[in-house]
Amino acid sequence: MSIYHTFVPEVLRSKGIAEKLTRYAFEIAKSRKLLVKPDCDYVKNFFEKHKEFEELLYKI
């Protein structure tokens, strides 16, 4: 599963919404036995900070 863009409108930023979206996407990937290809900078950084999701990382 490729996550190529994470967008939160400016008025809603800094409320943890991007993190919630990313975690939900990871839950979907895990339930469907998919790996995540982080084409979005936010998701790349999320993987670096949250090693507990490393099993979902698609490695080329």
- pLDDT tens column, 19-31: 999 999 999 999 9
- Nearest Cα to 46, choosing from 6, 14, 19? 19
pLDDT of 14 > 80? The answer is yes
Q: Into how many domains does the chain fold? A: 1
- Nearest Cα to 3, choosing from 14, 27, 49? 27
CATH number at 21 reads 3.40.630.30
Domain carrying residue 52:
2-56
pLDDT over 90, % of the chain: 97
Q: What is the mean pLDDT of residues 2-18?
A: 96
Structure confidence at residue 60 (pLDDT): 77
* pTM attached to this predicted model: 0.89
What burial class does residue 13 get, using C-beta atoms within 10 Å of its C-beta: 0-12 exposed, 13-18 middle, 19+ buried?
Answer: exposed
Structure confidence at residue 47 (pLDDT): 96
Going by pLDDT thresholds of 50, 70 and 90, the confidence category of residue 57 is very high
